[in-house]
Structure 1
């Protein structure tokens, strides 16, 4: 049993075994190169997608002008009118030369502050036929077709564009622009983005007209003609168009209906209790949100499937710039993002969160971003570990601690555990013991190794750099595991079972937060069971944390990792009706899966800046028994029930849009 040295990266050319080589980089990039990108569909070709943050004083146009054409490709939208002056974040396609140019002495070393890898799969893995980038800033004059007034933006998965809830009074589509980020379907490649396909309201209207007979629109036919395969299908003989039961609901359709449909939530609730006091977000039918135009972005399905967070940064940031590019300079834009991940710094310093915060600031009140707070409160994916070197530590501080990470069999995706340490925590050692094996040697701050278990590729790596690109405060030690099962011959697999992770500090106090990354997808899928922490002291039946509970596993702190920015609005889920008092539960109105406020665990030591409570709240359940709320199915007239903070956030989106522009 022993660690092996990390290899030289086949794409970046960086020798990751060199002392200090991993410092300041994205640890997921280091792991991807260590296992030859086996966790992704494809090995990168000429380009590797990612998001760049520039240093203060640098513009995107200056960055593009300085970089060599072989080094980086930047989408035109980032130098067009949609990108406000001063924006320092952009998605890029990075070439091999990029990683030489950001090294000390390279032309981009003093320009690029950090680079976070995107998902080298799907559309992002393909080389663009011609780099779609501009080397001079384009004007901001409003062109024909740009939207003004109040606009709702949606970044989600499949959207039922022909649904009656998204038509205006004349029966015309309210979806003014629709951009799907994959390579399928009808439409044009938007020149400003260089990938995906765009539809306008006129395109949608033509497809509806072509599939209307005797005044009735065949919505399945619309989706088949538009190439929306998740919404419309054709029978094997090609004669019958239909939608199967597995497409009766879609996350994007449900979310947009709550944000901008004609029926506010109270109209859908059959039995409101007497004297129920509806909140301000429950506007009357005919509100601004039910009439305003919509700009929708459908994430690449590879992004939806990959909930390790590797693609969320590029897909969401590009989606935001696309939405902004279709609005004029006076539009009031409110965007809902009911997607997210579990791991990350949780202090607003991730690249995507920092980018969203800057966009909101630069738009000076005309842009609002609303995100779901997450549904992982009971998932046992977070642990809080207060460490001290004191000879007689007092609870909850410990001189050393052990986490048991239960990794499931038949997991055909990789698993990740992030250990976030505050600045100055240089004396923390990490020891890993795989299931049924002896402990691997403890690693210290700045050390990174991989473990092959006799296989050609690593089945595990502990990457423990002094600093990381994925957060700005302290550092992150990433424990990355290969899948536990594979049908592919020769694929590296990690042992399933209980992985033990021990931490201790040789000096000073340090609060460490451990986050297991999400390993499911929105609609569920086989072969990706969620891993979790195990502890005999964890009270599974208790829905909230008790400060006196000795377990390291804490519900508090389980939060959407892209929802902790200082200028975005995170939304937790509550119940419409609930028992007035429940023993052991401080506030029973909160849904059990949602983060809540005030934080029941707020007396526990925390890393500086960590966000654990949502900024706002809305309904995710009708009551403790009837969970979820109702929203549109994928066909007109159909209603479905979904629960979660994904249902809560669009209600706040609706409220903010209706209030936008009021001073």
Structure 2
């Protein structure tokens, strides 16, 4: 349902009725004046709202009695070590299946958190601290929800494979690899043993599957355990169509169609590269490597804003960490080693590890390394190197107190466009103003980068709607001190061709963002970093999105030979370097770039070239600091694009490009290394997120590197990892692999 905005207020919810919370600009748009333009998952499902809450570091969670016998309205999904973490995912029920504006949404979240707060006796600081904030995500469809459970899901009814220890060498350590993706074919032959009857998949959670009323081990979706998967294999054999239908995996609850019924999916490809074993490729199905899968909802891939994913992704990490502990206890594994392949990303964010989801994941990985066992997080560098989504506004770009960004908005775009401007940490931008000029050179809206004194509590913030000639909102400009650390300006524009014809459209063409400042403002010490959110449609889900981009004349896109330029043009604010995946900048992430062979399939790793799309960190020192650590194959050659892996059904193949396909090669090799590496070696390698354990082509780098070597390192990292298999590829001739 389309909800109406009740005064466009984003003040804190009334603390007397719940925990004080407030909404970020993304939530204020998607659940307020811009909800008509949001995805159907937000418009059509409002009964079970999902969110990520940030608690104070000092929170002390102790279970006590239920809240005065009140009917349950809030739940936690599976949580791992929640008492020691600052972030927690949760779901709250909205009995009216409709939310009348941001204020009503805040009050709903507030009441839900109060119920969970009362039950867990979070210390008194929680009710008043400014850090109490939430990030709202896509609602859980009603058919996927298990509302009858208690505040936590029940423990899984899982038993270890009693014969596993006898089938593997005693010198091999049972190691766990986890894959978070979409369209995961958990019964695929490539994840079984040589006989094809036993699976290596211990757990798989399909977050958007129709709930099984007989199951209470997950809050939403369905969970499959090894014994259940093996029963399905025994019953249906090679008829995987019937297997997935009977298992309830062939129907999603999002009206987008089940990915498991497609010929190929991103998740099937990635999972096969990370953990698949096929006899025709000469692979050994190493049974000591156990698999956990989490299939994200389709809406997470469909989203183009960076909004809507946090609760589902953080829940996936909690689930993986919890189930890894279950596996470790069942098989008697001391200090269980875990590798997580997370082939997902977005282009926006602050790129310092400080976005809510990144900070939450970082905190979990660091805690598990300290308390439980080695934990590697492998992420792709991103695919937006040439997409003109990143710009850097430095002091030299100001002329008479102004700097200008040309933002090209495409026609026939059915999704909103989002642009973020980030200032350096602890910087006071109060003398700056952001103005938006439309394609007809009309000034449409401006906002000082200051806080509105009428908005009490929470991060200092302000916002102003962009109105059309009829006075209807077609955009939003906001400023907020994100998590009390770094100022952000967010500019949102409505679609140029809205899905609902009754909604007003924004004009296509060149919009101009003018950054102006007072005459006596001190020069910038660090530049303003700008990122446009990606608008990709990775699984062909028909979102109707068209990518906006920075359109600056000084950005030279082609070389004199007519090739795409892979270097930044002098004097241009549009940058290729600095386009790194916004979810890959945490301190615990091992960032993987993508390469192609330089002279065909027979060429060596020494001569590889970065894939043209493979993103990289900044070349300059300072923020953003994250850099590519290593690289692997994402294109076989310039003409043979992509890599080859399994399709959804056993025996099928798929071709997929992107750094998402380079990351699982690294995750696979790291998992195999974890099986045999000594404790001291692994513990020492954690300081570099296990980069030193990688086997590949290491290129020496030093202070005397020429420009091309510096650029190559920025995109390929320190070591180039060979794929374990690709048609026609042979790395046996590379003498510097080690």
- How does the TM-score come out when normalised to structure 2? 0.71
Equivalent in the alignment of 1:583: none
Shift of 1:436: 2.6
Shift of 1:521: 2.4
1:119 aligns with 2:134: no
1:362 aligns with 2:383: no
Shift of 1:156: 0.3
Equivalent in the alignment of 1:75: 76
Equivalent in the alignment of 1:177: 203
Say which of 78, 83, 86 aligns to 2:84. Answer: 86
Are the equivalent residues in 2 in contact too, given 1:46–1:96 (CA < 8 A)?
Answer: no
Gaps of 5+ in 2: 15-19, 93-105, 115-123, 165-172, 253-257, 329-333, 451-461, 601-605, 680-738
Are the equivalent residues in 1 in contact too, given 2:205–2:223 (CA < 8 A)?
Answer: yes
Shift of 1:97: 5.3
Q: Deviations over 1:555-578 (max 9, x none)?
A: 111121111100121211112334
Task: Name which of structure 1's ranges 542-551 and 68-77 shifts more when overlaid on structure 2.
Answer: 68-77
Distance 2:510 2:65 in 1: 47
Equivalent in the alignment of 1:444: 448
Q: How does 1:224-239 map to 2 (within 5 A)?
A: 224-229=245-250
Distance 1:63 1:370 in 2: 38
Q: Deviations over 1:257-300 (max 9, x none)?
A: 11112259xx96xxxxxxxxxxxxxxx94375x75221111101
1:424 aligns with 2:427: yes
Q: Deviations over 1:582-631 (max 9, x none)?
A: xxxx99621111124xx6x624xx7x531453122111112222221211
Equivalent in the alignment of 1:353: 358
Structure 1 residues 114 and 108: CA distance shift in structure 2, 3 A: closer
Shift of 1:326: 1.4
1:627 aligns with 2:645: no
Say which of 570, 574, 577 aligns to 1:549. Answer: 570
Distance 1:72 1:108 in 2: 20
Structure 2 SS opposite 1:327: helix
Q: How does 1:544-583 map to 2 (within 5 A)?
A: 546=567, 549-578=570-599
Equivalent in the alignment of 1:248: 263
Structure 1 residues 97 and 220: CA distance shift in structure 2, 3 A: closer
Q: How does 1:239-388 map to 2 (within 5 A)?
A: 247-262=262-277, 285-286=283-284, 288=286, 291-328=288-325, 330=334, 331-364=336-369, 365-387=373-395
Structure 1 SS opposite 2:360: helix
Structure 1 residues 188 and 361: CA distance shift in structure 2, 3 A: farther
Structure 1 SS opposite 2:609: coil
Shift of 1:504: 2.4
Are the equivalent residues in 1 in contact too, given 2:439–2:511 (CA < 8 A)?
Answer: yes
Structure 1 residues 484 and 27: CA distance shift in structure 2, 3 A: same
Are the equivalent residues in 1 in contact too, given 2:593–2:614 (CA < 8 A)?
Answer: yes
Distance 1:397 1:173 in 2: 64
Shift of 1:221: 2.0
- How does the TM-score come out when normalised to structure 1? 0.79
Structure 1 residues 88 and 69: CA distance shift in structure 2, 3 A: farther
Are the equivalent residues in 2 in contact too, given 1:10–1:36 (CA < 8 A)?
Answer: no
Q: How does 1:31-50 map to 2 (within 5 A)?
A: 31-35=29-33, 37-38=35-36, 39-41=38-40, 42-43=42-43, 45=46, 48-50=49-51
Are the equivalent residues in 2 in contact too, given 1:573–1:618 (CA < 8 A)?
Answer: yes
Structure 1 SS opposite 2:448: coil
Q: Deviations over 1:503-548 (max 9, x none)?
A: 1233123311111111122223441111111122211125556565
1:590 aligns with 2:588: no
User: Bigger relative contact order, structure 1 or 2, given CA contacts below 8 A and separation 6+?
Assistant: 1
Shift of 1:432: 0.2
Distance 1:65 1:187 in 2: 24
Number of aligned residue pairs: give it: 590
